[in-house]
Structure 1
Amino acid sequence: MVSYREIQASNELISDANAPRVAVFVGGTSGIGQLTVKALVNTGVSIRIYLVGRKSSEERIQTLIDELQAINPQAEVIWTEGEISLLSETKRICEVIKAKESRVDLLFLTAGYIPFGERKETTEGLETVQSLEYYSRMLFTTLLFPLLGLSENPRVVSVLSGGLERVTSINLDDLDLKKPGNFGGVAAQGQYGTMNSIYLDKLATNHTDITFIHSWPGAVNTGSVRRGFGPNSIMVWVIRLLLEPLLALVSYSDNESAQRHLFQSTSAAFGGRGIPWKGKPGVNSREQETTGLFLVNHKCDCTPNTRVIPVLREKAQTKVWDHTQEVLRPYL
């Protein structure tokens, strides 16, 4: 395990010489994304951050941006509004960023929630959470490759369930979980998380200059459990009054979670040219210490998940890749 003291010591070394200069946070309007934005801005470095989220968050986020820029005048935080469950909007946002920037150093992806209740689709015909947690994330990554490729230390971090993949957690006969009885909160999270790892593992072989991280954050009370229910559901109150106080006892604090994800976003423990790391180097999904896909758990340890990933690579990767390309093709 990487100790929290080691993580803090690494983060204290972040400076203008080694920090990402341009970062895109998708889902950074709440939860782990917002916490990590705050931690990055608080380092005092000169950075430009694109904060992507829904229009309903705009007023609240503008207050946050004002606070962050008061703390660090060298940080430019740019609110970028868009409904990112729609792939057409994802493409539009990427075009906005590409028109303004010559490079992107960090792409940090956290949008999503546990989809309890009935299956709901976007106007584009995709299950809403699958679009947020998988298709939109992969489209952001693909469309921003030209800018990531111009960075000296490009990094893509997808926060969901890295290292928790199971061969049985993906339904290859129903990748979008449309068939009766296949959809549910637990099944969906297992499916979407495993698809993240399968697809990112393939991207990492095609883009060897980029570090990819699929992170499992552990227990962090971000309120995402409540989002799976309607705002007037009795379950929201059950979770708020009973589950969340229990969760608080075993969760990472907001600050510790932020520091851990800042570490993942900047440290050379995960390959690349990040903050120098003297500890044990992380090993990627192909059991190498170079760039690639790193499956990083809540303790900031890497696991190649050697009993599962090679099997998924052999039996599932082609089907997941081809299916995803078919879904994304109209937006590429």
Structure 2
Amino acid sequence: MVSYKEIQASNALINDATAPRVAVFVGGTSGIGKFTISALVATGASTRIYLVGRRSSEERMRAFIQELHAINPKAEVIWTEGEIALLAETRRVCEIIKSKESRLDLLFLSAGYAPFDGRNETTEGIEITQSLEYYSRMLFILQLLPILSKAEAPRVVSVLGGGLERETSINLDDLDLKKPGNFSGVNAQVQYVAMNTVTLDKLASDNPEVTFCHTWPGWVSTGNVRRGVVANSIWGWFVRLLLDPIISLVAFRDEESGQRHLFQSTSAAFGGRGVPWQGKPGQNSLEQQANGLFLVNYKCDCTPNAKVLPLLREKALKKVWDHTNEVLGPYL
């Protein structure tokens, strides 16, 4: 485990030279994304952050942005409205960013929640959480790769469940879990985690100049466990009376979660570039590359998931990649 003191010491080295000059946070209106933005701004470094969120969050985020500016006037936080569960909206937001920036140092993806209220689809016919946790994230990456590749040490961080993959995680006969009986909150989360890892591993192999991290944050009291839960359902009562109190007891504090994810977003422990790191370097999924996919857990330790990932490459990669390109093709 990388101790919290080590993480704080690393983050204390972030300055104008080592901070991401341009960052995009998708899912930064609450939870881990918001905590990480606060941690980055609090370094005092000069940085420009695109904060992407729904229109309903704008008023609350304007107040948050004012607070950040008071903490660090050198940090510019730009509110960018978009309903990113919709792939057409994701493409629109990416076009806005690309029209303004020639390079991108950090893409931080943390939007999503567990779909324990059952299957609900967007107007584009995609299950909402699968769009947020997988399709939209991959579309952001593919759309922004041209400007990521122009940065000195570009990094993509996807916050979900890196390292939790299993050989049987992906239902290859029903990648969108549309067939009767296949969809549940647990099945969906397991499938979306593994699809993230398989595709990010492919992208890391194809883009060796970019560092990719798929992180498992552990318990963090973000409130997302309640999102989408029907208030008076059995699951709603379970969350309210049992799960929420347990999370509150064992979860990382907001500040520590933000610091840990800032470390993952900036430290040379992941990819050999970034803020200097004297500790043990993280191990990525591609032994032949300095960069690759880093599966990072809540202790900021890495696992190559060496028994599972090769099997997923062999059995699932082509089908997942082909299907992903079929879904995203109209938006690329």
- TM value normalised by structure 2: 0.98
Aligned to 2:33: 33
Structure 1: unaligned runs, 5 residues or longer? none
Aligned to 1:147: 147
Structure 2: unaligned runs, 5 residues or longer? none
Aligned to 1:255: 255
* DSSP-derived class of the 2:229 partner: coil
Q: Distance in 1 between matches of 2:100 and 2:85?
A: 23
Which runs of structure 2 are paired with 1:185-224 in the superposition (5 Å)?
A: 185-224=185-224
Q: Distance in 2 between matches of 1:69 and 1:244?
A: 32
CA shift digits 1:73-123 (9 cap, x unpaired): 001100101100000000000000001111110000000000012211100
8 Å contact 2:226–2:236 — kept in the other structure?
Answer: yes
Q: Distance in 2 between matches of 1:67 and 1:61?
A: 10
What one-letter code is carried by the residue in structure 2 that aligns with 1:277? Answer: W
Runs of 4+ in 1 over 3 A off after TM superposition: 230-238
Aligned to 1:21: 21
What is the Cα-based RMSD across aligned positions, in Å?
A: 1.2
Aligned to 2:326: 326
Aligned to 2:77: 77
Q: Distance in 1 between matches of 2:228 and 2:249?
A: 22
What one-letter code is carried by the residue in structure 2 that aligns with 1:45? Answer: A
What one-letter code is carried by the residue in structure 2 that aligns with 1:225? Answer: V
8 Å contact 1:283–1:289 — kept in the other structure?
Answer: no
8 Å contact 2:215–2:297 — kept in the other structure?
Answer: yes
Aligned to 1:227: 227
Aligned to 1:283: 283
Q: Distance in 1 between matches of 2:222 and 2:296?
A: 19
* DSSP-derived class of the 1:107 partner: strand
Q: Distance in 2 between matches of 1:233 and 1:50?
A: 37
CA positional deviation for 1:286:
2.5
8 Å contact 2:28–2:53 — kept in the other structure?
Answer: yes
What one-letter code is carried by the residue in structure 1 that aligns with 2:82? Answer: G
Aligned to 2:50: 50
Q: Distance in 2 between matches of 1:287 and 1:152?
A: 21
Q: Distance in 1 between matches of 2:314 and 2:241?
A: 45
Q: Distance in 2 between matches of 1:257 and 1:107?
A: 18
CA positional deviation for 1:149:
0.7
Q: Distance in 1 between matches of 2:260 and 2:130?
A: 25
CA shift digits 1:42-77 (9 cap, x unpaired): 000011100001111001000000000011000110
When the two structures are aligned, how many residues end up with a matched partner?
332
Which moves more between the two structures, 16-25 or 242-251?
A: 242-251
Q: Structure 1 pair 188/277, CA: closer, same or farther in 2 (3 Å)?
A: same
CA positional deviation for 1:211:
0.1
Q: Structure 1 pair 299/288, CA: closer, same or farther in 2 (3 Å)?
A: farther
